[in-house]
A and B are shown apart, each in its own frame.
Chain A
């Protein structure tokens, strides 16, 4: 194993597995359309030659080794060579030095320097192109004008492939873009009718292995005129000057990787031309031209134009892409501004983010969003169900500082299967005081958003293994499995947008909390004032009331004997009215005390409370001959005994009062409710006070809790203050409990209440 990394992977031993390490620059072979000579840079003595050098008719390739270049070129040719060769710079793309007729055939001679040697490529002139040169330039000029006019990068590239197809006559021209992860995508394509389309096809990074990528980045253009060429070896194998195989990195006639030709053959491609697109000196993508019907050899003029086009496209495209990105960023900023305005204007944060001119989903590239604020979940667009979003938020909460994002959620979090089919990426930002106050954006699985114009499900015709892999279907499959459960990565500008919006919301939340605190303060002050007012007012009302009652009584005692029946009744009525007024004032006092008094929960035995209430109501019970039933001992409960006493006093009192049954009874009991609510919630016991009284008609059940509201006249059922049930409702409310009733006229009423919230 230790020797393995040392071994050079070349055309001789390349496989699907090691092709990423294939040193394709050391293929030591050329394509047949050129003769390659390696000469000493200074002496111009031939060191190596491709085996097809015999075409030059100066003997076999082997015969040429060690001979001077003058043996191939005549004097005039040699002096032209020497003149232009002197200008060659090391490690640069081959330059056309001159064209020469050798052995009756015109060849374009290209030269470049590498490792102290000079490599000459004597290329047969290709057939003349269909377009005349002047026409070619016209095409080019109008093409560039159109390129400039395009607005988006995709539109631009569509125009670019169109121009190149026109100039080269290739049947298929594709613009191919690299992603940061190395994978690629066909973003524009022009193709002859009848050929399969590859637009939208995604390739895994492995399809253009690192070595090929390196070579692509060295030159603007690579041309393979005939995919089914026979490689011509270079002899001798070892260059005597470098004592190594010659480095063909820049040589355009270099024999290419067998993996590449096999792939092309599987696609039915006969010739290719590849132009490289750079952005800021980095390989951005490729323009790949393919010919399906026959091999196609482009001559030097067309290649020159293509090279120029590739450079022009690169330059223009960089600007277009920057502009497009800038417009996305601008859209995000504009959306942020609108949302911020809405946040300032609208009372509800959720409404501000989900309705109106701008919503959370307007600018950003996301399929859905969720707002988790104050234990409320609001969903927008395509999202998992509430419960799944809550579960996800719980997990994210501990990871978020300011923002957090993931493009592989199933790896980063535990996701239900249901949720995983919907989303693969999330961007989160904090928006409130608690950890789980979050704003989330979702992205679907990347591959789900990708459509290929070809047929990804097409069965691979020729068996399995190599052929199955080395074609677009194989590429697409590999790419799809590589991006399984992954979403498009989140961009910096998107994260920045989330962070700024989150901060904006947080500011609003804090500001509102401050306002609420102030309001609360004001409210509790006015509550205190109100309570003080009620207290003082009731005192001031009671004092004269006591005077009236007492004087009436004194009058009754001293003068009753002298008064006639109607006047005696009048005095009696005065006394009755003062008593009623007294109980109203008492009730008001009680009610106002309930509002402000702090709730002190303690362990209370409800049986004792009932006992006490029974004593308070003893007179009434005896008068009515009523029965107070407690079917089973009541539990101990954490509650405020003063208010619970008021609850029972009023409910039992009402049960007795509004009861015309011959054998009236009031029953006090409770129900446990295991399993009646979801497991996460604990249900407090439900208490009830049931009577066999007159009942309450359905239409009146809402009104009875209103302050001073009575259903019956003053004189029936002993008269009430209209405060009893208001006090009960308020007391239950102070305990965060619930109060409701069931009633049937003529049968009786049951009041239910709880004494604590149904909390998590």
Chain B
């Protein structure tokens, strides 16, 4: 992973965003975070992505499902239909653990499904594992950088 590529976080809750940011930092992920607080904001961001320099295009997406307005699963579908962002892994990070939500997320192209733990320690543990796997272990697509 390129350390200077940003991560896209689609999350409406300021607190949850803050916690995620804290956890990422505490496990040593220092990438810049681009935050979209709703589906609409995400759409606007997607329209501008062409004009961004390669380095400023996100290399990984965290997406919440319960978004105000357009539901997260719709947003996920749009991501997966987007020319530049389609190959980028999008991991669902949400409060739900409902089986139907899990199934639907994968069907829509999610790379993973994470249920937000209630306490910080577990949250941190989970982010740690995500970071180890996605940012250290696997090779991420290069499409984002070359598109």
Contacts and interface: CB of A to CB of B under 8 A. Distances in A.
B15 A593 contact: no
A553 interface: yes
B11 to A, nearest CB: 10
A89 to B, nearest CB: 99
A535 B100 CA distance: 12
Interface stretch (B32-40, B49-57, B114-122): B114-122
A545 B119 CA distance: 9
Contacts of B121: 553
B62 to A, nearest CB: 15
B15 A549 contact: no
A124 B71 CA distance: 120
B13 A545 contact: no
Interface in A445-469: none
Contacts of B96: 535, 539
A579 B119 contact: yes
Interface residues of B, number: 16
Given A535-B98, A543-B95, A554 B15 contact: no
B19 interface: yes
Interface in A368-423: none
B16 interface: yes
A543 B15 CA distance: 8
Contacts of A539: 66, 95-96
A542 B15 contact: no
A593 B117 CA distance: 20
A240 B6 CA distance: 139
Interface in B1-35: 13, 15-16, 19, 22
Given A539-B95, A539-B96, A554-B22, A547 B118 contact: no
Interface string B109-129: 000000011111101000000
Contacts of A579: 118-119
Contact of A547 (B16, B66, B98, B117): B16
Contacts of B16: 543, 546-547
A578 B15 contact: no
Given A535-B98, A539-B96, A549 B13 contact: no
19 contacts: A535-B96, A536-B66, A539-B66, A542-B95, A543-B13, A543-B16, A543-B95, A544-B15, A546-B15, A546-B118, A547-B15, A549-B119, A550-B15, A550-B119, A553-B119, A554-B120, A579-B119, A589-B98, A593-B98
Given A546-B123, A549-B118, 14 more contacts: A538-B95, A539-B96, A542-B95, A543-B95, A546-B15, A546-B16, A546-B118, A550-B19, A550-B22, A551-B15, A579-B118, A579-B119, A589-B98, A593-B98
Interface of B: 13, 15-16, 19, 22, 66, 95-96, 98, 116-121, 123
Interface of A: 535-536, 538-539, 542-547, 549-551, 553-554, 575, 578-579, 582, 589, 593
